[in-house]
Amino acid sequence: MPCPHCRIGPSILNADLSCLAEQSQALLDKGADYLHLDVMDGHFVPNITFGAPLVKCLRKRIPDAFFDLHMMVAEPEKWVDDMADAGANMYTFHLEAAKDPRALIDQIRKAKMQVGIAIKPNTPVEDVLELAELADMVLVMTVEPGFGGQSFMEHMMPKVEKIRARYPEKLIEVDGGVGLKTIGHCAKAGANMIVSGTAVVRSDDPKSVMDEMRSMVNQARDSWPQP
């Protein structure tokens, strides 16, 4: 099986939350492959965003979209069933917050969601390499989670390279400061799930931005380690 094609997932936290369903649907209509939903609890990260009730409402309005729930929460075990019931497709938890990552992975699978594992910038990639085999996706944060307006951390790319070399078929996501100026680094390293907030959501032409980023990643696939 070849390396997966690129998928672009706008971070809808950057949208106007007063008309979130409409803006989310517009992004999908313009070529978004999935929606990235940032859930923050004010404990694991300093900000608070939204929880299962909003996800459930959004699912009713957008029944067919793929929802990647980025759970920036202190106790990710507590919210698995609620998010599954709300309509999440992928439950991405932070390795740093999980008491028993393997048990949590089993819990997510039993709730019939895909599994994502995220690591913060200061977390060594070696901490996630063994567990990555059990996950559908690994998220390498390219900013510190929970803080807006940060610059893309290019020095996170060796983490992506190591995961890609170990798991050529794995979905590898990057999140934070990713746009047209930085997508080249992500593409070269081997990331194929691209979260982009401001660069897409607040662009005058989101379709062209997503198309260009997708094209750059897909063109780089031939240079990645192959299965």
Annotated catalytic residue within 33, 68, 136, 175: 175
The values of phi and psi at residue 222, to 5°, are -65, -20
Distance (Å, rounded) from C-alpha 18 to C-alpha 59?
16
Distance (Å, rounded) from C-alpha 72 to C-alpha 35?
16
Nearest one of 105, 104, 98 to 120, comparing CA atoms:
98
Nearest one of 195, 138, 210, 215 to 14, comparing CA atoms:
195
> Collapsing DSSP states into helix, strand and coil, what is residue 29?
helix
Distance (Å, rounded) from C-alpha 193 to C-alpha 168?
14
Helix axes 20-29, 52-61, angle to 10 degrees: 50
- Does residue 38 carry a catalytic annotation? yes
Question: Residue 86: what residue type?
Answer: A
Strands (E), the chain: 7-10, 35-40, 67-72, 90-94, 114-119, 137-141, 171-175, 193-196
Annotated catalytic residue within 16, 33, 38, 100: 38
- Does residue 29 carry a catalytic annotation? no
Confirm if 91 and 107 have CB atoms less than 8 A apart. no
Distance (Å, rounded) from C-alpha 42 to C-alpha 58?
22
Residue recorded with tokens 């859930």: 39
Active site residues: 38, 175
